[in-house]
Amino acid sequence: MKRNDLYSKEEKLFQDKNKIYSVQSVKQIVYSTDIRDFGQVAKSVPCQDVCPAKTNIPGYIRAVYEKRYGRAYELNRSANILPGVLGRICSRPCESACRHGEPDNGISVGICHLKRSCADLKPGSHRIIEGLYAPTDKRVAIIGSGPAGLAAAHDLAILGHKVMIFERLEKPGGMLMYGIPEFRLPRDLLMLEIKNILRLGIELKTNKAIGSDISLTQLEKEYDAVVVATGCVTPRKFDIPGEDLENVHKGLDFMKAVNEGQTPFAGDKVVVIGAGFTAVDCARSAIRLGASDVSINIRKTIEYMRIDETEKQEAEFEGIKTYSLIQPSKIIGDGNKVTAVEFKRTRMEKIDTPPYRISIPIENSQFIVPVDSVIAALGQTPDEAVVSREIDPLACIYCSACIDVAPKDCIKMIENIFVNPDGTYGRYEETEDWSRVVSIAIDNANCIRCGQCLAVCPMDCISVIKTELIEIDT
């Protein structure tokens, strides 16, 4: 079939073993740079518009319908390099935006499971084909083999650079390998997709910690560029009495132990504190370790949990209870071991700035819950100690979520930052070209302190401190 023939006829026949079926072919392809067209597409295809990777969702659904699973997989992989992984753990913002879920249209399409199906059903003989650039003789070191590090390595290798990944743990994958339980993400699938990336000639060195095994300064000397993709690996703390007692686990540490094949102590009655995916993963893992009474405890109400409806249903199906409008105030122990948690009840209160609804502790509302173990799944923050000196802002991972919500032109895309003689950061050069961005900066002169950027930042990169000048007569 000639390429031109694809667009000259209205219909083509496709044969798959003993089945013959037809699909409507594309009659014309038109490319546009008009911003009005992008706006119209966003309205017409809201599922793709809300997808963080802007995956061609209608395209791969069509390919799945046509039983061209390899093609559907490639359409997914062109937007994200781990389609099979995302088909199992994605939070599915596309499905809540799906037009089929609008009133009188029925229910949303199962977009995420279709992504999973194309990864599972593509032929075993399917070969991934990528357009490679000529070698550049440039060498790039990447610190961290999580999703960000793998994606950076893949794209840099495509562009012709020689890439080396340094991973401090035994296996690659970062949070995918050590933070998510295997019953949600099979490890053979994860390793297959990682190998599909490494096959481009990317080298991987595991058990190599930056700072102890090799210094950042040494990497800078040996490589033309260094990408720091260490992720968020430092668990947040309660900052309440008793959190250092035995059998009080940090959520990420608990999951890491489980995923390494260990059996951290759970006991019979387990209290999980947290409202995200890690909290649910910890609770479901505790059930598999033999606990019979597992609960998830949250400060707000269930609709504010940072998980999708599927995760809520899975937890409920496994007998995990969710208690809302409570927060821990003290962890109680007998000797060094935890025996109970003191909670305070909370209430929801409206405020005028993001996140608009906050939880407020209610005085004199304490009550005691006996426990065998406590798991604090409060989220994680970046670990700046991963490297041997302060992380350079030019090497950080960034996104544009804050720019998208800023009501004023106060968040700048930066292509160069100058350092003052005293070592402090000086003036910066702005850019409108996203491909040249090396950092994001807030222009304090134009910032109105609305808090929108703080609310949408997925990595807690932004902090706002309220200051006041008060004059006191003496």
Say if CB 451 and CB 354 are below 8 A apart: yes
pLDDT for 458 equals 67
pLDDT for 467 equals 64
Per-residue pLDDT tens for 189-234? Answer: 999 999 999 999 999 999 998 888 888 889 989 999 999 998 888 8
- Mean pLDDT over the full length of the chain: 86
pLDDT for 465 equals 67
pTM assigned to the model: 0.76
pLDDT for 17 equals 46
Q: Write down the residue that tokens 């026949």 correspond to.
A: 13
Give me the domains of the chain, ranges plus CATH numbers: 5-121 (1.10.1060.10), 139-231 (3.50.50.60), 236-381 (3.50.50.60), 402-474 (no CATH)
User: Cα separation of 22 and 12, whole Å?
Assistant: 6
Nearest to 273 by CA among 234, 319, 330: 330
Per-residue pLDDT tens for 80-114? Answer: 999 999 999 998 999 999 999 988 888 999 999 99
Token representation of residue 174: 């970062």
Band the pLDDT of 131: cuts 50, 70, 90.
confident
pLDDT for 394 equals 52
How large a percentage of the chain has pLDDT more than 90? 59
pLDDT for 97 equals 92
Q: Answer whether residue 314 shows pLDDT above 90.
A: yes
pLDDT for 234 equals 83
Band the pLDDT of 21: cuts 50, 70, 90.
very low
pLDDT for 396 equals 57
pLDDT for 412 equals 86
Q: Answer whether residue 18 shows pLDDT above 50.
A: no
pLDDT for 19 equals 47
Band the pLDDT of 158: cuts 50, 70, 90.
very high
Residue 77, phi then psi, degrees to nearest 5: -70, -25
Q: Answer whether residue 377 shows pLDDT above 50.
A: yes
Q: Answer whether residue 161 shows pLDDT above 90.
A: yes
Q: Answer whether residue 317 shows pLDDT above 80.
A: yes
